[in-house]
Amino acid sequence: MSSRRGGKPGEAGPSSGRRSAAPKLITRAEVLQLTWPIVLANAAVPLLGLVDTAVIGRSGGANDLGAIAVGAVVFSFVYWSFGFLRMGTTGFVAQASGAQDSAEARASVTRALLLGASIGVVIVLLQRPIAALAWQLLGASADTEARAGEYFRARIWGAPATLCTFALFGCLIGRGKTRHLLALQLLLNGGNIALDVLLAGVLGWGVRGLGIGTAAAEWITLFASLWLVHRVLRSERRDVEAMFAWERVFKRERFVAMLRSNLDIMLRTLFLLAGFAWFTDRSAQLGDVTLAANHVLLQFVSFSAFFLDGYAFAAESLVGKAMGAGDRRGLDAAIWRSTELAGITALALAGLFLLVGMSAVNWLTTLADVRVAAAEQAPWCALYMLLSFAAFQLDGVFIGATRTKAMRDASLGSLLVFLACSALLMPRFGNTGLWAAFVVYVVARAVGLAVQLPALRRSVP
* pLDDT tens-digit map of 206-217: 778 888 888 899
The secondary structure of residue 158, as a DSSP letter, is G
* pLDDT tens-digit map of 265-274: 989 988 987 8
Any idea what the Cα angle at residue 192 is, between residues 187 and 194, rounded to 5°? 100
* pLDDT tens-digit map of 119-160: 999 999 998 888 888 777 776 666 677 777 788 888 899 999
The per-residue pLDDT of the chain, averaged, comes to 83
* pLDDT tens-digit map of 211-251: 888 889 999 999 999 999 999 888 877 766 777 777 777 78
pTM: 0.76
Taking residues 301-322, what's their average pLDDT?
Answer: 86
User: Taking Cα atoms as reference points, which of 384, 392, 387 lies closest to residue 435?
Assistant: 384
Distance CA 9, CA 52 (A): 50
pLDDT at 9: 31
* pLDDT tens-digit map of 33-61: 888 887 777 666 656 666 767 776 655 56
Q: Is 19 helix (H, G, I), strand (E, B) or coil?
A: coil
Number of neighbours of residue 445 by Cβ within 10 angstroms? 29
Number of neighbours of residue 118 by Cβ within 10 angstroms? 12
Q: To the nearest 10°, report the CA torsion of 365, 199, 159, 73.
A: 20
Contact assessment for residue 373 and residue 434, using Cβ atoms and an 8 Å cutoff: no
Q: Is the sign of the CA dihedral 144, 132, 442, 422 positive or negative?
A: positive
Contact assessment for residue 236 and residue 102, using Cβ atoms and an 8 Å cutoff: yes
Contact assessment for residue 67 and residue 148, using Cβ atoms and an 8 Å cutoff: yes
Distance CA 86, CA 98 (A): 18
Contact assessment for residue 322 and residue 334, using Cβ atoms and an 8 Å cutoff: yes
- The more confidently predicted of residues 395 and 254 is 395
User: Taking Cα atoms as reference points, which of 19, 77, 14, 78 lies closest to residue 321?
Assistant: 19
Distance from the first to the final alpha carbon of the chain: 17
Number of neighbours of residue 69 by Cβ within 10 angstroms? 25
In the chain, the percentage of residues whose pLDDT exceeds 90 is 31
Q: What are the backbone angles phi and psi of residue 29, rounded to the nearest 5°?
A: -60, -40
Domain spans in the chain, listed from the N-terminal domain onward: 28-458
- The more confidently predicted of residues 78 and 109 is 109
| CA atoms within a 13 Å half-sphere pointing along the CA-CB vector of 84 | 26
Q: What burial letters (b/e) apply to 22-36, b meaning 16+ CB within 10 Å? A: eeeebeeebbbebbe
User: Taking Cα atoms as reference points, which of 110, 136, 104, 145 lies closest to residue 288?
Assistant: 145
Q: Is the pLDDT of residue 11 over 60?
A: no
Q: Where are the alpha helices (DSSP H) in 25-83?
A: 28-59, 62-80
User: Taking Cα atoms as reference points, which of 457, 453, 449, 440 lies closest to residue 410?
Assistant: 449
Burial of 202 (0-12, 13-18, 19+ CB in 10 A): exposed
